Amino acid sequence: MTDTNQTETDPFAWFQRWMTEAEASEPSDPNAMTVVTVAADGRPSARTILLKGVDPRGFVFYTNTQSRKGNELAANNLVFLLFYWKSLGRQIRVEGRVEPVTTAEADAYYASRPRISRLGAWASDQSRPLSERAELERRLAHFEEKYPGEDIPRPPHWSGYRVLPERFEFWRNMPFRLHDRTIFERAPDGGWTSGKLFP
């Protein structure tokens, strides 16, 4: 494992380097991230989901848009991401706003999912009360019968979000808790300014 070049000026390049190293060492789901949303009443909510895409525009994840997170993002598009790789002694915090992915992006990713996952997007009323597990299994069986082949349309309530970063923090574990913290903040010209924080 190599440390990130401390002169790196592009936070996305820094992120990609750390993600590549995590993919080589983490035992499962190196792309797991905690997503924090805030409801209209100011109540925060966090859950761990999987990052499905990243490029210079931002970070992409997919979900049921009628789920709790979807409803909260509709009310307040501010979002916070946290990547934590304990074995590497690293974490990345990302603050920004979300925008919906395009229909073409959502369709393409949905089509790439296993068949049972695509059917599950129809069967699950995500975040709503479930009387018993058997209810979900009945709903899944219904959609298996309705869509017996591979041609399963994307549900209208299932899509993706792109997090447009406004701030990054790269944290490295250091001896005696004298950790290294590097921040990047979006500049008015669209570039990035960087600096350090006390641990």
Which residues are known to be catalytic? 177
Whole-angstrom CA distances from 44 to 36, 84, 92, 100, 171 are 7, 19, 19, 21, 23
Smallest Cα–Cα separation from 168: which of 69, 73, 78, 83? 83
Smallest Cα–Cα separation from 83: which of 72, 93, 73, 71? 93
E runs forming strands in the chain: 32-38, 44-50, 53-55, 58-64, 78-85, 90-100, 158-172, 180-186, 192-197
E runs forming strands in 51-191: 53-55, 58-64, 78-85, 90-100, 158-172, 180-186
Q: Is 136 exposed, middle or buried (0-12, 13-18, 19+ CB in 10 A)?
A: middle
CA angle, 180 then 183 then 187, to 5° = 165
Cβ proximity of 75 and 40 under 8 Å: yes
